[in-house]
Amino acid sequence: MSIIEVKQLTKSYRVYRKGEGLKQSIKGLFHREYEQVDAVRGIDLKVEAGEFVAFLGPNGAGKTTTLKLLSGVIDPTSGDASVMGFTPWKRDNAYRRRFALVMGQKNQLWWDLPAQESYRLQQQIYGIPADQFCDTMAELTDLLEVKRLLNQPVRELSLGERMKMELIAALLHSPDVLFLDEPTIGLDVIAQHNIQQFLKFYQEQRKITILLTSHYMKDVAALCKRVVVIARGRIEYDGSLSGIIDQFSGHKIVTLQFDERSHVELSTMGEVISETWPKVKLKVPRANVPRIMSQILDQYRIEDIAIEDPPLEDVIASLFRESSANAAS
């Protein structure tokens, strides 16, 4: 069953184009020129109940705009969307009680007050019964190990601690759908890992549907089996995490450790990435891997060998560059 269904969703903005120099500035006072920016260009998307989906794309691709559309923050230019049977931009109270949006660069907690005070306000806004509120609060603060910080002003918390508090605020009313926009942005490795572990556990336990945008591929690899790639406002890929490597990477990374006495002609094997003799790392076209491996094993003494897919970060970055190049041409 599709809990999120998007059909030909489009969002365009009319943006003032300011010319350079004093003359153009004065001209702009009387005659303004505008250009149309298509942030989202007719995307189609279905997300099943209980899925944890990564929504990836370069800056300006339309990720955050799509999340804002699905959460009802902004209205679309055209197209349709349904989340749990609701049209998001109608902003029904019944819908607002069943989803949450967390944006890594936006705060929803009162800066000068302890997080606990903001949570009490959340309780009143969502009409959460007192016993349910206390149980949920206890569970979330225990899982995220922040109970001791509840009475500390938010401005005194570290970035990682603030993000944990933001997640608690989003989950207090037990939403069925969670939109996460860069939840680990700016966090150190330990804080990122803690957030990942919490999200993975919570999603598995509650079976909620999560749509995640992130520039950290470790978030994606740790949490999501399905990846949707958006570029230039259009969906370029929708499938498994392993499938994105197969589709958009034409090579494998081969690491070889030769016998010290070997004399090797590397140019015939592939593109040399690094060479610290006797260890060599090569980029080899996928189709050529069996032939080249057979050739190497026949001709040289090998002490160790490893054949791997390229890092996910490299594959995604290559896809983004290709998309940008196509847009510019």
DSSP code for 327: H
Average pLDDT over residues 246-274: 81
Q: Which CATH number fits domain 50-246: 3.40.50.2020, 3.40.630.40, 1.10.240.10, 3.40.50.300?
A: 3.40.50.300
Give the tens place of pLDDT for each residue, 36-64. Answer: 888 899 999 999 999 999 999 888 888 99
Break the chain into its structural domains and give their ranges: 50-246, 250-308
Compute the C-alpha angle 313/317/321, nearest 5°.
Answer: 175
Distance from the Cα of residue 132 to its chain's centroid:
31
Give the tens place of pLDDT for each residue, 278-305. Answer: 888 999 988 889 998 898 888 888 889 9
CA distance 55 to 67: 10
Average pLDDT over residues 122-134: 95
How many CB atoms sit inside 10 A of residue 87's CB?
A: 14
Global pTM? Answer: 0.84
DSSP β-ladder status, 226-231 and 234-240: antiparallel
pLDDT band at 327; cut points 50, 70, 90: low
Question: Is 80 exceeded by the pLDDT of residue 329?
Answer: no
**Residue 328's pLDDT is what?**
55
pLDDT band at 325; cut points 50, 70, 90: low
Average pLDDT over residues 219-227: 91
pLDDT band at 263; cut points 50, 70, 90: confident
- The closest alpha carbon to 145, from 158, 128, 132, belongs to 158
Average pLDDT over residues 236-253: 86
Question: Is 60 exceeded by the pLDDT of residue 175?
Answer: yes
Q: What is the mean pLDDT of the chain?
A: 88
Question: Is 70 exceeded by the pLDDT of residue 324?
Answer: no
Question: Is 90 exceeded by the pLDDT of residue 27?
Answer: no
Q: Which CATH class is domain 250-308?
A: alpha beta
Q: What percent of the chain has pLDDT over 90?
A: 53
**52-66, 99-113, 136-150: range with highest mean pLDDT:** 136-150
**20-29, 118-127, 261-270: range with highest mean pLDDT:** 118-127
CA distance 202 to 34: 46
